[in-house]
Structure 1
Amino acid sequence: MNLTPRSRPFHQVDVFASQPYRGNPLAVVLEAQGLDAAAMQRFANWTNLSETTFLLPPEDSRADYKVRIFTGSEEFPFAGHPTLGSAHAWLDAGGVPKAEGYVVQECAAGLVRVKRDGGRLAFAAPPMTRFGPVEAPVRRHLAEALRVPATDVLDAAWLVNGPEWIGVLLGSAEQVLALKPDFAGMGDLKIGVIGPHAPGAGSDFEVRTFLPGDAVTEDPVTGSFNAGAARWLMGSGRAPEQYLATQGTVLGRAGRIHVSAEDGEIWVGGDSTTCISGAVLL
């Protein structure tokens, strides 16, 4: 049962870009106590952003706060840009981490550490809940939905760490940028596509992620997919232990995802900027 609507602190944060309004926006409701899932889902649908988060007191004593993450139509156990944007908003609002050097976020996927990486934040990629080769019929479906020859798909894998991503590897960044997918043909598949840039391009990989059936059909910048892709590509020797990926190019964005492997963990980082701060009545 929701409480009587009241004013709650609200931030809108631009994530994964050094320039404001060039990354992926996130709505963050702080002090979300008393809101039930239905109220959260309604508000997330109304914001019309890829994700909206709601910050709550932690239930786990090791965590600094608890977050619930909603798209316009469903709740995710984990997502990347909401993790960085929520940590940024919590710190902006005066949050002081319990642990030295880390913010610890509690979400449905468990505890996620967020650290300062120079002037930006980076999260430790959560474990995969499904990781492995894509079945042959699904791989054919992917090629058809992306409108590319099956031979252009160099590899495909399940990369599930919250959203049920399937990763598709193409031979070049140019192929990724040229995609004109058949969104209706995707069904309920969530597809992330990655391809390498040529040396000297200023970025190592180009990424695009497609979310048919939701409020958006292409996500500007996607932390969860990039976390899964890093584990996949590094594990197969296709990516170095530190690299830069770009995303959102075809949408006029300038997403920059900084990825590194340290002591067996994958860290995914990016810049965040608070673009709107105020209050919402919920």
Structure 2
Amino acid sequence: MRFDLTDLSLFRHVVEAGSITRGADRAHLALAAASTRIRNMEEALGAPLLVRARQGVTPTPAGRTLVQHARTMLGQAERLREDLATYAGGLAGQVRVLSNTNALTEFLPEALSTFLTAHPNVNVDLEERLSDEIVGLIAEGVGDIGIIAGTVDPGRLTTYPFRSDRFVLVVARDHPLAKRDKVEFAEVLDLDFVGLDRASALQRFLSSKATQVGRPLRLRVQLRSFEGVCRLVERHVGVGIVPATTASSAIKSMAIKAVDLADPWALRELTICVRDFKALPPYAQQLVEHMRAEARPAEARQAKTRHAGTH
């Protein structure tokens, strides 16, 4: 029975994604090649590793055992590469970051770009997830660093403040709601929405909030960016929910209006979480410190803005 690191990495991705297709995509393998590798692994073991269903795949008891060992072995391989990199000069390795939609689209691009420019031998594997999913995955050691909403209980994870933002409703400038300063989410559920792809963490979050109210979310169009959401809102296709930072930028060039959401969940305090900072590889520790350093000036600017607004 021989499983190479590519096999183990693929199997870990498949289990975590709950899909051979998405797992193959994350492992940068063609679907046919990924399916062949999984089948060969099962044949070599002499037992099934996955339960296949229309909704996706789940690991069998043998599969759960394999993925636990795969994570350990892949982690050891990464530590080996990290230790040997010191002889080649500079840090080298890969850090896995799990982030909710807000941080991923609004704050991480800038923070990661400056970090990666300064560390050309470090790669970042960035994945979008719901905040409560991220807590569990970081606790299990699936990811190195998580960015979650401050409203989520991080359990025993170590946390650090990152950024603050809030979600707002965006409407066309001549929409009846444009005259409102504030609105509750439940008030707008009879309207058509322009939103992100249904698989996105934010869209799943908003759908769950609508379900709690006992109403469906009428998602008319699905896009891949908040900017695209704002552009279709401007053309009266529907209303949308985006971060306030996105709305304030879009308002400068689009005929839209941002209306505050009165719901408590609309305020987003974003938090960095790790399982054990000291156990992180050096490059992952440096990324955490880099994000914390970038957060401090942003917090100071926000505090200054709030202070000015009271005078």
TM-score by length of 1: 0.28
Kindly name which structure, 1 or 2, has the bigger radius of gyration based on alpha carbons: 2
Bigger proportion of residues as helix: 2
TM-score by length of 2: 0.26
Bigger proportion of residues as strand: 1
